[in-house]
Amino acid sequence: MSGNFSYRHLYYFWVVAREGSVTGAAARLGMAIQTVSAQVHALERDLGYALFKPAGRGLALTEAGQAALGQAEQIFQLGERLPELVRDAASQPGLRLAVGISDGVSKLATHRLLRPALAHENLHLVCLEDEFDDLLGDLALHRLDLVLADRPAPTGSNLKLYSHALGASGIAWYAPPALQAQARRGFPHSLSRLPVLLPTRHVSARAQLDQWFERHGVKPKITGEFEDSAMLATFGAAGLGVFPAAEIGEKSLTEQQGLRRIGICDGVEERFYAIGTERKVAHPLVQRIIETRAGRN
């Protein structure tokens, strides 16, 4: 096995793997079948392992081929985005910050968490919302600079990710004006009589809420469950029910949406994490977010 290999050979291997045959890859690349085949054999020779095995009229990956494809996918997917990134950088000068927001994070808290970076004069902020695992994949592929989540990155994963605690927010109960008086009367047992809106079970705080109900002997009258915290607050403000929310977003809830705080959810909190690909953060805005929030804990 040689100490080096050609990325050109790796690229041809990647195309063959995606097409499932040398013939298909040759057609896509506009090259002769023999040329593509020779490039793949050269890569196998350099690596010292067979990457393909016959499978019907096509090819299947060996175990070594599967490992090589995993790395090739990361390399060439990033390469395909290079023209777009260069074009965006040239047309929109400034410091770009791409943030993935886990669907379990309170959207009312997101602005507060990102506030340390928002004062940058030439900021180009990109915010994307998705499921936690999908965002971690995009982060590992360097499509994102940062992921905001309500839990740290899992341990024991093949992804080299680092979690930085940004602090926590207590949880309180809020109600639209029409339900405020009834909700406060006998709280928290009033939640057994009134319509209650809750986050779905994929949100980390939901397990704490269920324990809180059990601890207080409350059997809530659940009329709605929502993945998105902003949607939950919107339906709550429209009168659908009483709901819990992170206190970090209380100003928005009470002043902008006209809701009323009716009581605390003692012992329940929403935690916030910044997840990145570096133990020692290099991106200046990510560093500012982490250091500012950590200083407040």
pLDDT tens-place string over residues 238-255: 999 999 999 988 988 998
Tens digit of pLDDT for each residue in 21-38? 999 988 988 889 999 999
Tens digit of pLDDT for each residue in 91-112? 655 688 999 999 888 887 888 8
Between CA 175 and CA 190 the distance in angstroms is 12
CATH number, domain of 56, equals 1.10.10.10
From residue 77, alpha-carbon distances to 80, 164, 236 in Å are 5, 27, 42
Say if 148 falls within a structural domain.
yes
Specify whether 281 is located in the same domain as 160: yes
Closest CA to 17 of 51, 46, 42: 51
Mean pLDDT along residues 213-236:
93
CATH number, domain of 104, equals 3.40.190.10
Tens digit of pLDDT for each residue in 130-139? 888 899 988 9
pLDDT of 157 reads: 66
CB-CB contact of 189 with 218 (8 Å): yes
User: Which of left, alpha, beta for 239 (phi over 0: left; psi -120 to 50: alpha)?
Assistant: left
CA 174 to chain centre: 27
Say if 199 falls within a structural domain.
yes
99 backbone dihedrals φ, ψ, rounded to 5°: -120, 130
Specify whether 207 is located in the same domain as 229: yes
pLDDT of 292 reads: 82
What residue numbers bound the domain in which 30 lies? 7-82
Alpha helices, DSSP H, located in 223-283? 229-237, 250-251
Mean of all residue pLDDT scores within the chain = 88
Specify whether 179 is located in the same domain as 264: yes
Specify whether 125 is located in the same domain as 264: no
Specify whether 285 is located in the same domain as 243: no
Closest CA to 195 of 263, 239, 242, 265: 242
Between CA 129 and CA 127 the distance in angstroms is 7
Share of the chain above pLDDT 90, in %: 51
Specify whether 196 is located in the same domain as 105: no
Specify whether 110 is located in the same domain as 143: yes
Domains: count for the chain = 3
Closest CA to 198 of 189, 188, 206: 206
Specify whether 172 is located in the same domain as 162: no
145 backbone dihedrals φ, ψ, rounded to 5°: -90, -25
Residues 6+ apart with CB under 8 A from 80: none
Mean pLDDT along residues 71-75:
85
Position 2 confidence tier, pLDDT thresholds 50, 70, 90: very low
Mean pLDDT along residues 110-138:
89
